[in-house]
Copies of this chain bind each other. A is one copy, B any other.
Amino acid sequence: MEQIPILKLGNILLVSIQVEMHDQLALQLQDDLTIKLAKSQARGVLIDISALEIVDSFIGRSLAHIAGIARVMDATTVLVGMRPAVAITLVELGMTLTGIRTALNVEKGMELLRASMDEAEDFPSMS
C-alpha cells in the first residue's frame, strides 16, 4: 500500500509529501503521524510540500487537521516549501491555513521549530 514516510530527525518528524494526497492517503498519514508522535515524543512536525504543484482545498484541510492533531499532542507544525503558484491558489480559494506556521524551506522551518521549542522551555507548563 502507498504510504507517506515519516522521518525522525532528533525531536522533529519530517514528512515530505510528493504524491497526490487522495482521501485514503491523508487519513493514513494522520494515523501514522499520531502513532509516531506518541512513540517518538517528538516536539515538532515539518511538512515539506515543495514537490506539490497543486494544493486543493482538500489537501489544505488535511494539513490543517494534521497540525491540529499535532498541537493537542504538544507538537508544533511548520509547513515548508510552498511554491509561489500554490500560495496564490490557496489565497484565491480563501484558505489562509490558520494555525499552521510556514517557512520558505526545510532549513528555515527547522530554525523556526527549534526557536519555538526553546521558547516553550523558557516558560515551562505548571505540571
Residues of A within 8 A of B (CB): 3-5, 7-10, 14, 16, 18-19, 48, 50-51, 81, 105-107, 110
Contact = CB atoms under 8 A, between A and B. Distances in A.
Contacts of A81: 5, 7
A81 B9 CA distance: 13
Copies in the complex: 2
B19 A16 contact: no
3 closest cross-chain pairs (CB), A and B: A7-B106, A5-B51, A16-B16
B107 A51 contact: no
Contacts of A107: 8-10
29 contacts: A3-B51, A4-B18, A4-B51, A5-B18, A5-B48, A5-B50, A5-B51, A7-B14, A7-B16, A7-B48, A7-B50, A7-B81, A7-B105, A7-B106, A8-B105, A8-B106, A8-B107, A9-B9, A9-B106, A9-B107, A9-B110, A10-B107, A14-B14, A14-B106, A16-B16, A16-B18, A18-B18, A18-B19, A19-B19
